[in-house]
Structure 1
Amino acid sequence: MYYSSGNYEAFARPRKPAGVDDKTAWFVGAGLGNMAAAIFMIRDGQMKGDKITILEELKLPGGALDGIKYPKKGFVIRGGRELEDHMECLWDLFRSVPSLEIEGASVLDEFYWLNKDDPNYSLCRVTENQGQDAHSNKLFTLSEKAQKEIVSVIMATREQMENKTIEEVFTDEFFKSNFWLYWRTMFAFEPWHSALEMKLYLHRFLHHIGGLPDLSALKFTKYNQYESLVLPMYRWLLDQGVTFLFEHEVTDIQFDISEGRKQATRIDWVTRDGEVGGVDLTENDLCLVTIGSLTENSDDGDQHTPAVIKDGPAPAWDLWRKIAKKSDDFGRPEVFSSDISKTKWESATVTTIDERIPAYIEKITQRSPFTGKVVTGGIVTAKDSSWLMSWTINRQPHFKAQKPNEVVVWVYGLFVEKEGDFVKKAMQDCTGEEITQEWLYHMGVPVDEIPELAANAAKCVPVMMPYVTSFFMPRQAGDRPQVVPEGSVNFAFIGQFAETTRDCIFTTEYSVRTAMEATYQLLDIERGVPEVFNSTYDIRYLMKATTRLADGEAVHIPGPNFIKGKLLDKLDNTQMGQLATDFGLFPEHGDTKARPRHDDAIA
């Protein structure tokens, strides 16, 4: 397997791998990663679909990419997916999956046209004082010291960031900035999370630094992630003859491990009815396993019942623990799953059922939620919320089954143990109705109207997720196994807890990248895996980010003015000097401010 960039590799079709007709494939889990790997096996590996079986503990595919309507509770989405242009593996996948809505189009085509016609951006990213625009003016408010700390993290080696927390590499000046507010609420980072992952995120999304305040860097699907992404994949795989075995919990995987060679030899499972089964594997039977799970043991409450923290047996984690005991190369699941207090948060799906609450929504978003177009443009954060509550409304309807007068809202809080500002209870102890009350309070609804609206104008389903940010826990090399461990002849690990140094986690792209790497290695597919977009190595993006982090201020050059003038004179006559001037990195001679530069400077 190798990485590549450019059209030469992107448009190439690999030849049929030797021996593929003699192989079968067994997948543990029917989430995005494994479904993507199955598609790559069929499309690029030219394996017949009837040679592929996918085992899934749940009743339906999709894993964390969910979206469902319960008959009595209402609509539920545990989370949303923030997408962007440069998810190279994801879009490589969806260019081949047919749209369910547009004849002759792919899912990628459908998504591309949608976001061309209705580009995403936020008109109100942060509120305070019960729904008032915080008027942050899109500034990051990073002090010079905080800017230097960001640069230090970017310049550090991976090894220097291992096992460190974010609060170990940044000081209070950074944590008081708007940048941290934007960053933590968009990506769900906490100060005790991994400094290494913070570093990887800075590298990965350097080209989107400027889009953090208005979320213009993001793109979204037409409907919820299940209907827009999972269902098209599922239908296509069924059409290819792939077998899905739902309500099959894999309890163990056996391996034959010797010096320099590792082979998966058996998958054991139990069905929902308690029937014990399994399959023996030869070296021609491939085994691809999704390890760990951010949504494992999720619990749904309802309008009148809080969600609960389920800290008992967790099948996905228990399976990885069993596997990890068999080789030091199979990772250390306890690093990620041993402290629920640091990996949990709660979300809630609010469905409004008349136009009273949407009227308050429109005051903040400056858009009607009933147009079918972008509404919030991403999350809106109530910066003075005790729960650090954020909420978002994607294009409506968010579910095809919605009624015309319904609006589906996703709400989440990072501080679930703190007492609310209107509801004097911790978020984790609140019913759906109480969470709705707190949300309405931070939307500026008059306090005397809140109880009645929460009770009669909306229905809310809270969801507690004990492991939702488990992959952000501080880690070191070896804590996550390689996608294809050294010596493996027929198995791979897929998903957020498998290690590829090429990307950052908590993205759909990461799951699909691990799937592609696994498939291309196990089948020896002669096509490059798309390299991560290289903005972190592009001097233009580096200069643009530097200027943006400083809120347009010029870079301070120490020393006497006549020396600075001579330095700038020298730079003016070089290509680097022209770039620095174009991006406002240095002031004109005698100026104290950098010159503004349009966002299209990198075109």
Structure 2
Amino acid sequence: MSDQDQNQREHEGLDVWILGSSIGSLASAVFLIRGAKMPAPRIHLFESRGAPEDGLPTTGDALSGYDHRSSCLPIVRDKYTKYLLSLVPSIACSEQTVLDNLNTSKGDVAATRLLFQGDNHLEAIDPNNFGIGWRVWMSLMNFVLKSEKSLDRKVIRDCFKAKFFSSAFWITWSSTLVSHRNIFKIIANKGEHKRFGFCPWSSAIEFRRCVQRFFHKSRSHNKSSPPDRFICDPQEDIVLPITRLLQKEGVDIHFDVTVTDIVMDQEQGCRRISAFKWIKDETETIVTVGKHSIVIATLGSSVSGSTSGTNTKPPSLELLKAEDRLDENWSLWLAFGSTLGDPYNFCTRINESRVETFTITFQSTECLDHLIKSVKAEAGSRTLIILQKSNWSINLLIPSQPLFSHQSRDMSVIWGYCSTPNHIGNYVKKAMLSCSGQEISVELAEHLKIPREFMLNNSINIPHVMPRLAAPLLTRSSGDRPKVIPKKITNLAVVGQFVEIPDETCAIVNYSICGAHAAVNRLVGLQEL
């Protein structure tokens, strides 16, 4: 008997139902096919995307202005991410894998250059070589030695003295990580401790895990550097190739659908999922889950409820109830009730998890060159400007161009985010949430000490509010997030940023991939890496 025949016999009668849209769901399907050798037609994937290309993080065009959504970048030294990407063929060249492509594109990418707001001008920090004083070092060591239980519901500000947040270590680490995933929104503010309130939703537990994960890169007690990473677009470079692979292999993919309800039966003191309901084009369908079949579900979403404004209008500020504007991943979690942790701890605290971003499209490449020269940045490099004196906590990323693949080569695009958009601006006397793109450009120009006419006459600014972007980093207790394999449910695994994986940090995309590997391994058997 061949290995393929043996695997088919082992999986006879087994169907896997993968519910919800995320890289965790897609990774689960890849691990099932390539790792567990399951027949692709027995894998059923339910996605809210209308097509494989949907979900690109950048919309708009050169005429009306681009709208770029920040996304989580992978750190590919993680073994689960490397394994996943080594299984997926490149779209451009089938003889290469996605991992091959990304390793090639990594090249000698320079570290992001950091500029922070001094008294009279922008000052530079070398992110790869900055000193850590003994006090900061000891504060970090004492913090890491604390138990997670002792940090339940605590925020980062509870664990450090005010001077820690003005250290080069904190400025560099928080800003470099934030520029890609808004990990910890507390930007060091040069001793102005009460000005920003240190963003009370930042979880001390999550920061401890992040320090544990990456602080080993320090070569000595007084040297450190932020996590390595390279430039890629998760949607174009990872999600789309995976989707194409699953389609080619014959996975039963249902696009443009929403799972609305879960049915569970009681069996010998445990429960099992026996059916679920899904809707497409206002038609509801009930799927029966076989006795030997399993379900993998993605819980929660950090991009749910996002809204965009225009250069002349602010984003919508309508008040959202917990049930409103929630995507299918939240609906799925809520459908389980109190069985799987507490979704309301993460989806309802909008005032704490809300982040506003903005995308500035310059009408010519010369305009960006002028801006770079004005702020004394380096042409062709990636520069993150930290405006810690801004009431909105403005952080501006000037990337190497193009920022995304379909960007017009005649235009230049820069991107920024603000972690306290509900505050009144320093120059524009209103909350950022109520500002148009033009008003945000005025505030930015004043902080950068460049003529506001230059920004207004040469650029289009699109603001974008993401009410739950920082939801994975909210304070939590030990029972708020379910484990990958929930207790007393025999045929279910859950994946995504809102599940509990001990000692791993949800601040990077690897978290969802690690959870997907654990889910497949424990449900159907998979060789441990």
Partner of 1:376: 382
Match of 2:348 among 324, 333, 338: 338
Distance 2:292 2:146 in 1: 42
TM-score for the superposition, normalised by structure 1? 0.76
Shift of 1:523: 0.9
Partner of 1:104: 95
Match of 1:181 among 160, 171, 175: 171
Match of 2:249 among 237, 240, 252: 240
Distance 2:436 2:47 in 1: 30
Distance 2:174 2:204 in 1: 13
Matches within 5 A, 1:500-515: 500-515=501-516
Distance 1:29 1:63 in 2: 15
Partner of 1:32: 23
* Further displaced range: 402-411 or 496-505: 402-411
Distance 1:468 1:266 in 2: 31
Distance 1:112 1:432 in 2: 37
Shift of 1:85: 4.4
Any unmatched runs of 5+ in structure 2? Answer: 187-197
- Paired residues in the alignment total 498
Shift of 1:249: 1.6
CA deviation profile, 1:491-514 (whole Å, cap 9, x unmatched) = 111101111104101211001111
Distance 1:114 1:219 in 2: 12
Is contact 1:420-1:427 (8 Å) kept?
Answer: yes
The code of the aligned residue for 2:156 comes to: I
Q: Secondary structure at the match of 1:22?
A: coil
Sort the Cα spacing of 1:352 and 1:242 in 2 relative to 1 into closer, same or farther, 3 A: farther
Q: Secondary structure at the match of 2:114?
A: coil
The code of the aligned residue for 2:461 comes to: C
Partner of 2:336: 323
Partner of 1:266: 275
Matches within 5 A, 1:304-453: 304-309=312-317, 311-312=320-321, 313=324, 314-315=326-327, 316-325=329-338, 327=339, 330-363=340-373, 364=375, 366-369=377-380, 375-376=381-382, 379-447=384-452, 449-450=453-454, 453=455
Partner of 1:546: none
Partner of 1:113: 104
Matches within 5 A, 1:63-102: 66-69=57-60, 73-102=64-93
Sort the Cα spacing of 1:114 and 1:365 in 2 relative to 1 into closer, same or farther, 3 A: farther
Shift of 1:387: 1.5
CA deviation profile, 1:456-489 (whole Å, cap 9, x unmatched) = 4222322111111112122222211110113433
Partner of 1:161: 151
Match of 2:288 among 265, 268, 280: 280
The code of the aligned residue for 2:29 comes to: A
Shift of 1:446: 2.3
Instruction: Please tell me whether residue 517 in structure 1 is matched to residue 506 in structure 2.
Output: no
Distance 1:236 1:462 in 2: 35
Is contact 1:30-1:62 (8 Å) kept?
Answer: no
The code of the aligned residue for 1:478 comes to: G
Shift of 1:299: 1.0
Instruction: Please tell me whether residue 204 in structure 1 is matched to residue 216 in structure 2.
Output: no
Is contact 1:346-1:414 (8 Å) kept?
Answer: yes
Q: Secondary structure at the match of 1:288?
A: strand
Distance 2:53 2:341 in 1: 24
Partner of 1:474: 475
Match of 2:112 among 80, 101, 122: 122
Q: Secondary structure at the match of 1:254?
A: strand
RMSD: 2.9
Distance 2:14 2:158 in 1: 49
The code of the aligned residue for 2:316 comes to: V
Q: Secondary structure at the match of 2:144?
A: helix
Q: Secondary structure at the match of 1:287?
A: strand
Distance 1:82 1:216 in 2: 14
Sort the Cα spacing of 1:148 and 1:124 in 2 relative to 1 into closer, same or farther, 3 A: closer
Is contact 2:363-2:412 (8 Å) kept?
Answer: yes
Distance 1:461 1:424 in 2: 19
Distance 2:506 2:402 in 1: 29
The code of the aligned residue for 1:49 comes to: A
Distance 2:520 2:343 in 1: 23
Q: Secondary structure at the match of 2:460?
A: strand
Any unmatched runs of 5+ in structure 1? Answer: 1-12, 370-374, 531-603
The code of the aligned residue for 1:91 comes to: K
Sort the Cα spacing of 1:252 and 1:331 in 2 relative to 1 into closer, same or farther, 3 A: same
* Further displaced range: 338-347 or 85-94: 85-94
Distance 1:368 1:421 in 2: 29
Partner of 1:558: none
Distance 1:213 1:52 in 2: 48
Q: Secondary structure at the match of 2:422?
A: coil
The code of the aligned residue for 2:285 comes to: G
Is contact 1:81-1:220 (8 Å) kept?
Answer: no
Sort the Cα spacing of 1:308 and 1:344 in 2 relative to 1 into closer, same or farther, 3 A: same
Sort the Cα spacing of 1:234 and 1:318 in 2 relative to 1 into closer, same or farther, 3 A: closer
Shift of 1:100: 2.2
Is contact 1:360-1:443 (8 Å) kept?
Answer: no
Is contact 2:114-2:172 (8 Å) kept?
Answer: no
Partner of 1:568: none
The code of the aligned residue for 1:265 comes to: S
Sort the Cα spacing of 1:127 and 1:25 in 2 relative to 1 into closer, same or farther, 3 A: same
Shift of 1:128: 4.0
Shift of 1:431: 1.6
Q: Secondary structure at the match of 1:124?
A: strand
Partner of 1:134: 123
Is contact 1:350-1:461 (8 Å) kept?
Answer: yes
Partner of 1:219: 229
* Further displaced range: 284-293 or 347-356: 347-356
Q: Secondary structure at the match of 1:279?
A: strand
Sort the Cα spacing of 1:259 and 1:253 in 2 relative to 1 into closer, same or farther, 3 A: same
Shift of 1:64: 7.7
Distance 2:317 2:219 in 1: 37
Sort the Cα spacing of 1:478 and 1:124 in 2 relative to 1 into closer, same or farther, 3 A: closer
Shift of 1:120: 2.7
Distance 1:61 1:410 in 2: 25
Shift of 1:198: 1.2
